[in-house]
Amino acid sequence: MSATDPAAATPAPPAAAKRSVVRSLLRLWPYVRPVRVRLFGAAAVAILAASLGLTMPLILKWIVDGPVADGDTAGVWLGGIVLLVVGLIEALLFGLRRWLVARPLTRVEAALRSDLYRHVQRLPVSFHDRWPTGQLLSRGTGDLQLLRMWLAFGLTFLIVNSATIVIGCVILLAQQWSLGLILMAPVPVLIILCMVFETRYSVVARRAQDQMGDLTTLVEESILGIRVIKGFGRHRSQARAFQALSQRLVDTEIRKAKLLAWIWTFIMTLPELFMGAVLVVGVLQVADGGLTAGTLVAFMATAMALRWPVESIGFLLAMTNDTAAATDRFFEVMDVPVPPDRAREPEPATADGTGTDEGIRFERVVFRFPDAPPDAPAVLDGIDLHIRPGETMALVGGTGSGKTALTALVPRLHEVTSGRITLDGTDIATLPVHEVRERVAVAFEEPTLFSASVRENILMGAPDGDGTDGDAQDGSGSRDRDAELARALGISQADGFVGALPQGAATEVGEQGLSLSGGQRQRLALARAVVGRPRFLVLDDPLSALDVHTEARVEAALREVLATTTALVVAHRPSTVQLADRVALLSGGRITAVGTHTELLRENAEYRLLMTGTAQPGPSEPEEVTVP
């Protein structure tokens, strides 16, 4: 989503899509099942507490019709003590309910968040290209917190209050059925109103949560891009974009509040009107002698005890719809399929390839982005390229020619649409993804660093990838890792500035490594790529942010690494190209020429234009000829 476009759409389904609240919430059952005993036990305890509360009006009836009517002071004291004991037991039971659900439901929230995080990590790069980060953050934080609150409070009280209303109605009818029927007369009307409310509120609740995700995306982008915003003086336009999104959310929340106020008005007003009617009829019956004063007191006390369960219906329905929307948003991400990480039958080798050669080979590789229209041209259309064992191949092409897409296919960040790629003769599609990425190390054009130490960032490229030394109690593992770290820093020429940091390699680099310069970040990313001594190395313009002198030193050290690995290097400058044994020219989604730097400068006008800015050969160079 663009940070300046408040109307940008979220990749979620339309908010108004028809769905069942119950069916949505039932999808949480696998997470609730492990704690079901304590959850339903808490509901049973709460029902027992509410039932004890409903016995208080019956005790009042006994006090009024018995000791009060007979002038028995001791009986009144006894009744008061019984009421006090019942009240204390009710309070203890509600405390027990909180204890039963607090820890288990916190674990349910943790399990939901853990599964969401694990699933997002396993989803392909194409998913993250489509989804705004803020939408994922809002699903992993606010939505899951809402689910826990509903399981701990909303679900319990939906059960408890429903049971309380049923039990209370039975008690009312048993005490005086005619007054009970009057009091329950508005129930059908309230049911219809609640159904209408649920239909309208669910749409608005989903819209509000999606808008919160959009707002989170804008805030996240503004913070990460604060240097650009300040550099171009765009803080006012960003503030306007934020205000527009915030106002959309405010309008939606006000709409939610109006709907809730509307349903609460009816839920609270109708029962009060009929309760007044019951009181008038009851007083008349007492005056006529058809009803005892104690019975009327008990009836009205029971009716008053049912006010909270009835009045809470609107709030609980709103909370339930919010939770159903949050559940839908959670499972929208969880339902995105993860590409299977399993071996499949390899495609046959080309006629000129045995399928058993070593190095990296691209055979008839075609690639389209997964969300591209079916009639869109392929980004890569029939790539045939062989990088021999131990060879460094430079990949050169104009902007948008597909260089980055091609390099992303080797570690399977994207999957080929057709054709195949082999590593040492093995089709990467037949290997588990983790095994492919153990063999292939990558360094991207835009280096990404994490909020961790320099050491931890670099050792992500080591075989175990965690930057810890717990596997070596005698310290040998730590020494080996320190040696590899020092070697990688030396190759990337990062040892100098890392040694000057306040805590050396233990220094925290901050979010995105923005406390470092672009060249420093790029050198650390290169160190991360080479620290594990990879069999295959893919570098996407790894030296673009370096000054001339640093670039020369890095190239000199990098030659030793490239001599012992098979590498594919995206290059834009002649100095980087000269690291390679051969050069491949990518144009129009195809490899149009392969040769040494000198050969292509002499024979290929397009390559010459990319490297020198002119398509004309020099005085001693022949005119362009076709490379077979």
φ/ψ of residue 566, rounded to 5: -100, 120
Question: Dihedral angle at the C-alpha atoms of 446, 447, 450, 453, nearest 10 degrees?
Answer: -160
Residue type, 463: P
Range list of β-strands (E), 47-183: none
Q: What is the pLDDT of residue 470?
A: 45
Digit-coded pLDDT (tens) for 528-550: 888 888 889 888 877 766 777 77
Please state, as a whole number, how many other Cβ atoms lie within 10 Å of the Cβ of residue 81.
Answer: 10
Of all helices (H) and strands (E), which one includes residue 524?
helix 518-530
- Residue that is written with structure tokens 């663009």 in the block: 2
CA angle 49, 53, 54 (to 5 degrees): 120
- From the list 346, 547, 514, 400, the residue with the least C-alpha distance to 446 is 514
pLDDT digits (tens, 9 = 90+) for 312-348: 887 788 888 888 888 998 999 999 888 766 545 555 5
Strand partners, 387: 360
Angle, to 10 degrees, between the axis of helix 307-334 and the axis of helix 73-122? 10
Distance CA 577, CA 584 (A): 10
Same topology between domain 33-334 and domain 360-595: no
Residue 554 CA: distances (Å) to CA of 331, 406, 491: 47, 24, 6
Tell me the pairing of strands 566-570 and 392-397: parallel
Task: Provide the 3-class DSSP secondary structure of residue 586.
Answer: strand
Specify whether the backbone of 419 is left (phi greater than 0), alpha (psi in -120 to 50) or beta.
left
Q: Which amino acid is at 359?
A: G
Handedness of CA 209, 211, 213, 215 (dihedral sign): negative
pLDDT value at residue 331: 93
pLDDT at residue number 347: 53
Residue-wise pLDDT tens digits, 450-483:
878 889 888 888 876 555 544 444 455 567 788 8
Confidence at residue 384, expressed as pLDDT on a 0 to 100 scale: 92
Distance CA 263, CA 204 (A): 15
155 closest CA partner among 13, 278, 35, 243: 35
Res 489: pLDDT: 87
Q: Which residues of the chain have pLDDT under 50?
A: 1-10, 12-17, 343, 351-356, 469-474, 619-628
How far apart CA 415 and CA 32 sit, in angstroms, is 36
Fold of 360-595: Rossmann fold (3.40.50)
Q: Taking a C-beta distance cutoff of 8 angstroms, is the pair 408, 392 a contact?
A: no
CATH number for the domain formed by residue range(s) 33-334: 1.20.1560.10
CB 116 within 8 A of CB 333: yes
Res 584: pLDDT: 92
HSE, CB side, 13 Å, CA atoms: give it for residue 610: 22
The domain locations on the chain are: 33-334, 360-595
Indicate the Cα dihedral angle 614, 616, 619, 620, nearest 10°.
Answer: 100
Separation of alpha carbons 246 and 239, rounded Å: 10
pLDDT score of 3: 42
Neighbours of 585 (CB within 10 A): 22
CA of 493: how far to CAs of 486, 509, 520, 536, 580, in Å?
A: 10, 17, 9, 21, 20
Q: What is the DSSP letter of 622?
A: P
pLDDT at 361: 92
CA 606/CA 169 separation, integer angstroms: 87
Q: Are 420 and 411 in contact (CB under 8 A)?
A: no
**Displacement of CA 250 from its chain's centroid (Å):** 24
Residue type, 293: A
CB half-sphere exposure, 615, CA atoms < 13 A = 4
Distance, CA of 505 to CA of 475 (rounded, Å): 18
- The dihedral through the CA atoms of 467, 472, 475, 477 has a sign that is negative
